[in-house]
Amino acid sequence: MGKKRIELWGSLPEPYGGVSVHVQRLIQALSGFDNISLLNFSKGRQIIAQSNIRHSKGFIADFLSVLLDRNVIVHLHTNRLMVLKLFSFFIKNRFLVTLHNKRFLNTIDQSKFLNTLKSALYVFSNDDEVCQILNKNNINFVKVPAFLPPIGNNQIILPEEFIEFRKRNKLIFSMSIFGFNYLSSDDYGIEKLLSILKKYRHFDFGVCLCISQPNEKDLTSFKSKLEELDLNSKVLFLINKVANGSDIWGNSDGFLRLNNTDIEGFSVKEALVLNTPVLASDVCSRPLDTLLYESSRQEDLELKFLKLLNENDQLKTQLINSDKADIINAIDIIKPIFKNILQ
């Protein structure tokens, strides 16, 4: 029998998002292993100068390759039921799964979904509710946060329009949004953003929205609202332009996570590690250093945003002096598991 190896199946940025950044940093953090590699499914990044990354030839070809090579253990970064069914039926006990969301809880296929996971070596999740369900169904799971810190030697590249926006405003707050479908489902709290822009319009600040793959209709509608309210100058749109969001958060005076639904908020931890104050909703567990507001109380959001405006320097100092011990690096959990699998 040949040497075991682990192959991550996931997508690198672009588009930029929590899952793709997690995959990118995970393979970077595991670069010291010659028997761990990444199969990249992203169509946005075809040329990458790394020996441990190769590009998908198509799902069927990739699946057949793994099916025939019993030395390969696949680490899936997907919750697509059909993919999990194929792996659970044909490649039992040779795959791991990271669940980056809990959408399966709201589908009629929940039992089918859970049955596929019973064939996995491990299932990683960062959500307490999901972990409880996995435990109840006798699925071998490990609670693993999504967060992996920015790689320190990355060169910081800021878009020119951000630099100019920074110069024009005393304070800059940033947000990360994937999809921008706020008319149908305002997951990212765009209406809440509008409300605080209106209420505090006379304060000297701006908000930078880093948006990946927006719904153009929804984006146009939002821009029209800003124009109607004469708030255009308060908002900078960086659409499909940010290769590394941490560069933006690290050069902002605050990060806003106004989500109405959330699991972990990868970028929340990213900003805090970079000593950028974070204002976030209480819809899920957050790090202790987060400036939390009650998601059901608009007045609490307004009060906490005012604190972010008026006490910005103090909040930054608190973060600099904080050990951030509750922000766990996922690699510290994943690496020992991978080492054990490869033995």
Whether the predicted pLDDT of 23 surpasses 90: yes
pLDDT tens sequence across 86-143: 999 999 999 999 998 888 887 778 999 999 999 999 999 988 899 999 999 999 999 9
Instruction: Provide φ and ψ at 111, rounded to 5°.
Output: -65, -40
Q: Which helix (H) or strand (E) holds 74?
A: strand 72-76
Q: What is the DSSP letter of 336?
A: H
Domains by residue range for the chain, with CATH: 5-147+328-342 (3.40.50.2000), 160-321 (3.40.50.2000)
Q: What is the pLDDT of residue 206?
A: 98
How many C-beta neighbours within 10 Å does residue 217 have?
12
Q: Which residues contact 179 (CB under 8 A, 6 or more apart)?
A: 212, 213, 214, 215
Does residue 14 have a cis peptide bond before it, meaning omega lies within 30 degrees of 0?
yes
Q: Are 279 and 291 in contact (CB under 8 A)?
A: yes
Higher-pLDDT residue of 337, 245 = 337
User: How would residue 46 be classed by pLDDT, with cut points 50, 70 and 90?
Assistant: low
Asked which of 66-80, 142-156, 296-310 is least confident by mean pLDDT, the reply is 142-156
Across the range 284-310, mean pLDDT stands at 95
Across the range 10-24, mean pLDDT stands at 83
User: How would residue 15 be classed by pLDDT, with cut points 50, 70 and 90?
Assistant: low
- Which DSSP string corresponds to 295-333? TT-HHHHHHHHHHHHHTHHHHHHHHHH---TT---THHH
pLDDT tens sequence across 159-172: 999 999 999 999 99
Q: What is the DSSP letter of 103?
A: G
Q: Are 169 and 205 in contact (CB under 8 A)?
A: yes
Pick from 53, 58, 57, 96: nearest CA to 77: 96
Give, to the nearest 10 degrees, the angle between helix 298-310 and helix 190-199: 60
Is the pTM higher than 0.75? The answer reads yes
CA distance 72 to 66: 6
Q: Which long-range contacts (CB under 8 A, 24 or more apart) does 125-133 make?
A: 125/98, 125/99, 126/263, 126/264, 127/99, 127/102, 127/263, 127/264, 127/284, 128/285, 129/102, 129/105, 130/99, 130/102, 130/105, 133/105
Q: Are 178 and 238 in contact (CB under 8 A)?
A: no
Q: What is the pLDDT of residue 138?
A: 96
Tokens 């809880």 map to which residue? Answer: 105
Give residue 73's identity as a one-letter amino acid code: I
Pick from 188, 147, 144: nearest CA to 336: 144
Residue 256: strand pairing partners: 279
- Is residue 126 classed as helix, strand or coil in its secondary structure? coil
Q: Which residues contact 198 (CB under 8 A, 6 or more apart)?
A: 229, 231
CA distance 57 to 54: 9
Mean pLDDT of the chain: 91
